[in-house]
Amino acid sequence: MTSARLKHTAFVAFALLLVPGVLAVSCSATSNRNEFGDGGAGGEGPGGPGGPGSGGMGGDIFVGSGGSGGLGGGDPGVDPTTCAEAAAARTYIGCDFWPTVVANNVWSIFDYAVVVANAGDQPAEVTVTRGANTIATATVPPNDLAKIYLPWVPELKGPDANSCGSATPLSNTVRVPDGAYHLVTTRPVTVYQFNALEYGPQGGPPGKDWSTCPGPECLGECLSYSNDASLLLPSTAMTGNYRVTGIAGWPDANIGSYFAITGTEDGTSVQVKLSGAGEIVGGGGLPSTGPNGLASFTVNRGEVVEIVFSPNADPSGSQVFATKPVQVIAGVPCINVPLTSGYCDHIEESVFPAETLGKRYIVTVPTSPGGGPVGHVVRIYGNVNGTKLTYAGQTPPGAPLSINAGQVFDLGQVNVNFEISGDHEFAVGMFQLGSSLIDPFSTEPKGDPAQSLATAVEQYRLKYVFLAPSDYDESYVDVVQPVGAQLVLDGQPVAQTPTVISSGYGVVRLPLGPGKNGSHVLTATEPVGIQVMGYGAQTSYQYPGGLNLAAIAPPPPPPK
């Protein structure tokens, strides 16, 4: 019988068997990606220069058919109780969200879903629309959650793989009017999107029939191989200023990276200033645009422009400037991390507004499927020219001492926790490794690439409500905390002593039980940051579990 590892190699998570003509590409493709984006003279290196769906109560399944703001960032330990309070607080908790499908060649039998958690003391009524059509409704009781399954948007998702995993990912930019879902609630909630939610043939909407899964026909089993999750930001915390935090494409597999811009108001003018490594593949009314070029267009409320880049290009460091608030989600249909190690997986994550970026980050390696620390790939994104960087405690090999606006330093695989500070704001991206590296000796390896962002220390909170869906085998929350802080997870004090990193901060790695239908609550006596991750057979997800989104940094000047 063929091993799961060989099946996954054959499958290569869809996007490896690519391009018109459908050529197979080896999992051990060599990286040709650029290590740096554009940003001026260059930073200093180390040591020198349909109809409504049905509703129900929390924990049930709900199935659908067919700018700018104030400073925000209120008390990091007090959750808003009304939508007006949530809008003023500017955190990840809110009442108005825009779930957006992004490119992933996963079989459509696996579901796109949003999960809504209510940490308040009153029920939250949820309505999901697309354009003028109501798609789903739900009631989420206090301290509970709801999974809301939504139809894929094929134009944004891209084509499904065939039964043997062969597919062609999106090859040009697409524009879809009313392409996003609009999720509104009567009480503040947190929302996460899963693309896709399930990794195997179980779960899903009531009565779901898994017998049509294409996998067994060629690969011998029905596994998605291609999942990730994004923390969705409420529109009240969005702005019109973003520095794209993604990863380069995969040239040997002909897979380009992308980012999707979702409009929240009609008549929004958008400019995208590419980094020196960026190259847009035209489409949807956007012309092809080369490195350092400027693309200008307009989006309306609910409209999505998914900007696809050449496989040799890197969207990271590009600047998005919009006249009204927009949402930006960056990702890749499928990629190896690093490119030379299997296996390929879909990755995505919301991009934080430039005004919310901080000057200090504590970057921790993720918890592996077995519960211990494991390496990851780390990228540093510059937002201001001449930003000086310093490191407390350990310094990862090749770490830069300065960085410019739009510049990207790819540190490759990093196996240590570290603290990094700058005299101006910047961002840090984190990418899980493939299962061949993090679970190499298992006959059913768990994990594969996932994308997340480090949270600035300035945006840490005293309380989090977050999700770890029961659809995955193991889930963890990694908590970065002052070493003297006391933690309580789901009502139980955390006895674990943090592993010290630097400057009085450490990390604890906590396995997650079932919680309340997958919903968890963490409180702390001092502000902390969290990363949430989960693992299934040859797939994973990771996302920042929440953060304040206070405007603590000036936006970049408009592009020229």
pLDDT in tens, the chain (560 residues): 333 333 343 344 433 333 333 323 333 333 333 333 334 444 444 444 333 333 344 444 444 433 544 455 556 567 899 999 999 999 999 999 999 999 999 999 999 999 999 989 999 999 999 999 999 999 999 988 999 999 999 999 999 988 888 778 899 999 999 999 999 999 999 999 999 999 999 999 999 999 999 988 888 899 998 999 999 999 999 999 999 999 999 998 899 999 999 999 999 999 999 999 999 999 999 999 999 999 999 999 999 999 999 999 999 999 999 999 999 999 999 999 999 988 999 999 999 999 999 999 999 999 999 999 999 999 999 999 999 999 998 999 999 999 999 999 999 999 999 999 999 999 999 999 999 999 998 888 999 999 999 999 999 999 999 999 888 999 999 999 999 999 999 999 999 999 999 989 999 999 998 777 889 999 999 999 999 999 998 899 999 999 999 999 999 999 98
Q: What is the count of structural domains for the chain? A: 1
- Give 378-439 as a 3 state SS string: EEEEECCCCEEEEEECCCCCCCCCEECCCCEEEEEEECCCEEEEEEEEEEEEEEECCHHHHC
The per-type count for the chain, helices as H runs and strands as E runs, is 5, 31
Beta-strand ranges (E) seen in 25-92 are: 61-63
Q: Is residue 549 part of a domain?
A: no
Report pLDDT for 63: 40
* pLDDT value of position 443: 84
Rounded distance between C-alpha atoms, residue 221 and residue 200, angstroms: 9
Q: Supply the pTM of this predicted model.
A: 0.89
32 part of a folded domain: yes
Phi, psi dihedrals of residue 348, rounded to the nearest 5°: -165, 155
118 near 205, Cβ under 8 Å?
no
**Strand ranges for 102-143 from DSSP E:** 112-118, 124-130, 133-140
Q: Is residue 536 part of a domain?
A: yes
Whether 57 is in a domain gets the answer yes
Q: Is residue 62 part of a domain?
A: yes
C-alpha 299/C-alpha 324 separation (Å) is: 10
- Asked if the structure places residue 394 within a domain, the reply is yes
328 is a domain residue: yes
Residues 6+ apart with CB under 8 A from 39: 275, 276, 317, 382, 385, 403, 404, 405, 406, 407
Q: Domain of residue 349: give its range.
A: 4-544
In this structure, are residues 249 and 257 in contact, taking their beta carbons and an 8 Å threshold?
yes
**Residue-level pLDDT at 28:** 33
pLDDT at 560: 85
Residue 555 placed within a domain: no
Burial zone of 217 (CB within 10 Å; 0-12 exposed, 13-18 middle, 19+ buried)? exposed
